[in-house]
Amino acid sequence: MMLEHVLVLSAYLFFTDIYGLITSRNMVRALMCLELILNAVNINFVTFYDLFDSRQLEGNIFSIFAIVIVAAEASIGSAIVSLIYRKKKSTCINQSTFLTK
């Protein structure tokens, strides 16, 4: 009972944040939804590691690596968002359509 409930919750979180990532006008909200997508996947990892044979699965370690990668990506994403805001003075996500200027 517990496994299915946790899997359903993580699937719900995943799809809610995919919806938020696709339809958000704001760059920072897209970053936030991206964090939650990766978190939902981490919940799945640890739930399966909890209930299966823990000698051969290493979902625990992989979730730690995923946390570290998310931290690195969040820092670089925020740096890029601040740089874009500094140049364009607005955070609308469909304003920068070209790579130059």
Footprint on this chain of other proteins (rule: CB under 8 A): 2-9, 11-13, 15-20, 22-24, 26, 28-29, 31-33, 35-36, 39, 42-43, 46-47, 50-55, 58, 60-61, 63-65, 67-76, 78-83, 85, 89-91
Q: For 97, list phi and psi in degrees, rounded to 5.
A: -100, -15
Point out which residues pair with 26 in neighbouring strands: 92
Least distance from C-beta 19 to other proteins, angstroms? 5
> CA-CA distance, 27 to 73, in Å (whole number)?
14
Residue closer to other proteins, measured from CB, 89 or 101: 89
CB of 81 closer than 8 Å to CB of 12: no
Least distance from C-beta 57 to other proteins, angstroms? 9
